[in-house]
Amino acid sequence: MSIQELCTVRDNRQLTGSVFALTLEAPRISSAAAPGQFVHIACGEARLLRRPISICQAHDGLLKLVFAAKGEGTQWLSRCSAGDVVDVLGPLGHGFDLSALGDRPVFIGGGIGVPPMLQTMQAARAAGAQPTAILGFRSRDAVILEDDFRAAGTVYIATDDGSYGIHGFVSDVLRAHIGAFTSVCCCGPKPMLRALAEIAQAAGIPCQVSMEERMGCGIGACLVCACALKAEDGAVRYGHVCKDGPVFYAEEVQW
Amino acid sequence: MADLRVNFCGVELKNPVTTASGTFGFGHEYGEFYDLGELGGIGVKGLTPEERLGNPAPRIAETPMGILNCVGLQNPGVDRFIEEQIPFLRQYDTRIIANVSGTTVEEYAGIVEKISDADVDLIEMNISCPNVKCGGLTFGTQPKMVEEVVSAAKRVAKKPLIVKLSPNVTDIAEIARAAVSAGADALSLINTLLGMRIDVESRRPILSNIMGGLSGPAVFPVAVRMVYQVHQAVDVPIIGMGGIRTGRDIVEMMLAGASAVAIGTACFADPMAPVRALHELEQFLDEHGIASVTELTGGLRI
Ligand SMILES: Cc1cc2nc3c(=O)[nH]c(=O)nc-3n(C[C@H](O)[C@H](O)[C@H](O)COP(=O)(O)OP(=O)(O)OC[C@H]3O[C@@H](n4cnc5c(N)ncnc54)[C@H](O)[C@@H]3O)c2cc1C
Ligand SMILES: Cc1cc2nc3c(=O)[nH]c(=O)nc-3n(C[C@H](O)[C@H](O)[C@H](O)COP(=O)(O)O)c2cc1C
Ligand code: FES
């Protein structure tokens, strides 16, 4: 279901040098949101296109988004402050399939792919599973949301430069512990997702990946957010990240 | 309350606002935001004789007040449209504008003949898509080819035939005259303007197809100019499109010569754009004491 809601900013807080946590008053969108879905936010009059941002948490009428200020749109968003009003479409897309996680799912995020895994992990825990998170960052100063994840289950943190937690990639951590898990859910750069999907496949457990693509409408009408999927005959077909995704089962994706 | 009805080639539109092909899918998604029956007509995604996969991603790049796209006519094929989408669209009190393309003259004639027999109100023939390798734009830029493909289609068309023109030409009036002399009942313009963007860090084009079609507010003045030139050159009704966002934009496009308009890219910024612009148009008419929207068409004073 797509809702357009004018949301008042409750809080906008800098987590690291470039990453912000934005809390919006969004009673309608937050009550309809499911883990892994995203919102499409208008970032000022000067930019035609909205920006897709994953839902990090939705509860009590609030929507928490965690985003990196990169280009003009997200920089505009980073300058919003309490009391400002932003135009939000959501909740969009289809999120993680929570029905097939098993009792020991692992939630893996890389960099700015970490935030959407939080609500997903919390939902799994609420459903009675014993979840684990593997979170990967560039370095110690890029680590975000650690306490929130620790409150939801077991957490491994890996940094590329070894300045915090395990020195290495999330894929190294997954490979080392793969026997302990019943399923994988992940979000991050495509090469990371692909590596994780291969490890999960070799272990014979289901793997869901959250994909990224440039968007127009964000709701499935313009067909610009193409994602190469495997057709039944093995050929390529294009699904759409905003409507068929952003979450896909790894075996559907034409890597 | 002004009269918003427009008689377009004998088909009554309840108002002049339609949606631009390719920006609105088959209506399902925007139908979650408002009653599609509020629109004068729905221009559906461009159809081809067979299913088309389209181009790989990225298919979109943002530009100052515009976008570039290179979707490449991804669509399920005309047969599945007829079977699966027409029944859905017919639930709404609005007109169906079927947008069709082909890669040869025979394909254009074939798809126009097939869609003629289906339950649609108007046929819009796209001879101007910049994002497919053969056909599309190549048909729309040479008067001889325009005449050939339009007359072949007109021979088999049983519904009003709208020919959609490309802005990627030196003399739009010449192309318009070619289409009308070959039997076009109406014209629509503009399709997208060929453009390109480069990521300066990677030095690579942003779009998978290198080039793409520019649309959105950035193209509005070009569209107004071309609608004006075409209205001067031929005597058939025009659907004006290209960058329309507001009710005043609709008024401007109609003053230049359009009988109806289509709204596309503006929907990405605001899903309510077509109905919002329609209400703004209504308000403009009332405020200016204009009794019928048709009075605007070609009402430019020089
Ligand atoms: C489903 C989904 C969920 C996302 N969730 C998050 C999140 O939770 N936190 C976060 O920080 N980022 C997230 N992103 C990435 C985020 O959308 C981009 O970083 C953002 O659009 C960049 O906009 P900009 O104005 O900063 O950059 P600009 O370079 O100015 O953007 C220009 C255009 O390119 C598009 N674009 C540029 N980079 C990306 C990208 N990586 N993905 C998609 N579009 C892009 C923009 O949307 C815009 O249309 C998500 C992307 C998708 C598709
Ligand atoms: C994503 C996208 C897809 C499009 N697909 C088609 C198409 O399939 N057939 C067609 O005739 N025009 C297509 N167009 C062109 C539009 O119908 C319209 O002519 C153009 O975008 C200008 O209007 P706008 O600025 O209001 O979007 C497409 C445009 C966009 C942005
Ligand atoms: S962004 Fe328009 S279909 Fe996905």
Q: How would you write the pLDDT of chain B (302 residues) with one tens digit per residue? A: 899 999 999 999 999 999 999 999 999 999 999 999 999 999 999 999 999 999 999 999 999 999 999 999 999 999 999 999 999 999 999 999 999 999 899 999 999 999 999 999 999 999 986 666 555 566 888 999 999 999 999 999 999 999 999 999 999 999 999 999 999 999 999 999 999 999 999 999 999 999 999 999 999 999 999 999 999 999 999 999 999 999 999 999 999 999 999 999 999 999 999 999 999 999 999 999 999 999 999 999 98
Average pLDDT value for chain A = 96
What are the backbone angles phi and psi of residue B12, rounded to the nearest 5°? Answer: -85, 125
In the three-class reduction of DSSP (H, G, I as helix; E, B as strand; rest coil), residue A62 is classed as: strand
> What is the C-alpha R_g of chain A?
17
| d(C-alpha A240, C-alpha A233), whole Å | 19
User: In which residue are the tokens 């409750």 written?
Assistant: A10
Read off the pLDDT of each residue in A171-185 and give the average, rounded to a whole number. 97
Amino acid at the residue A88: V
Kindly determine whether residue A216 and residue B28, on different chains, have CB atoms separated by under 8 Å: no
Residue to mutate (ligand 2; options A48, A214, A217, A222; most atoms within 8 A of CB) = A222
Local structure of residue A139 (DSSP, 8 states): S
Nearest CA in chain A to B62: A49
Kindly determine whether residue A224 and residue B23, on different chains, have CB atoms separated by under 8 Å: no
Q: Best residue in A28, A223, A233, A237 to probe B by mutation, most B CBs within 10 Å?
A: A223
Would the pLDDT of A195 be above 80? yes
CA distance A128 to chain B (A): 34
Would the pLDDT of A56 be above 90? yes
Would the pLDDT of A86 be above 90? yes
- CB-CB contact of B129 with B99 (8 Å): no
The architecture of the domain spanning A98-252 is: 3-Layer(aba) Sandwich (3.40)
In the reported structure, the alpha carbon of residue B126 is separated from the centroid of ligand 2 by a whole-number distance in angstroms of 10
Give the tens place of pLDDT for each residue, A119-140: 999 999 999 999 999 999 999 9
- CB-CB contact of B183 with B109 (8 Å): no
In the reported structure, the alpha carbon of residue A99 is separated from the centroid of ligand 1 by a whole-number distance in angstroms of 29
- pTM (predicted TM-score): 0.96
Domain boundaries, chain B: 6-296
CA distance B32 to chain A (A): 7
| HSE of B224, CA atoms in CB hemisphere, 13 A | 18
ipTM: 0.94
- CB-CB contact of B175 with B146 (8 Å): yes
Residue B129 among the catalytic residues: yes
Q: How confident is the model at residue A46 (pLDDT cuts 50, 70, 90)?
A: confident
Considering only CB atoms, which chain A residues are within 8 Å of B33?
2, 4
The CB of A64 under 6 Å from ligand 3? The reply is no
Choice among B9, B129, B134, B267 that is catalytic: B129
What pLDDT does B181 receive? 98
Residues 6+ apart with CB under 8 A from B53: A236, A237, A238, B72, B74
Residue to mutate (ligand 2; options B62, B215, B261; most atoms within 8 A of CB) = B215
In the reported structure, the alpha carbon of residue B223 is separated from the centroid of ligand 1 by a whole-number distance in angstroms of 30
Q: How confident is the model at residue A1 (pLDDT cuts 50, 70, 90)?
A: confident
> Six-digit token pair at B286?
């009332």
In the reported structure, the alpha carbon of residue B69 is separated from the centroid of ligand 3 by a whole-number distance in angstroms of 11
CA distance B29 to chain A (A): 6
Question: What homologous superfamily is domain B6-296 in, according to CATH?
Answer: Aldolase class I (3.20.20.70)
Q: Which CATH number fits domain A3-92: 2.40.30.10, 3.10.110.10, 3.10.20.30, 3.10.350.10?
A: 2.40.30.10
What pLDDT does A45 receive? 87
Beta bridge partners of B28: none
Domain boundaries, chain A: 3-92, 98-252
What pLDDT does B131 receive? 62
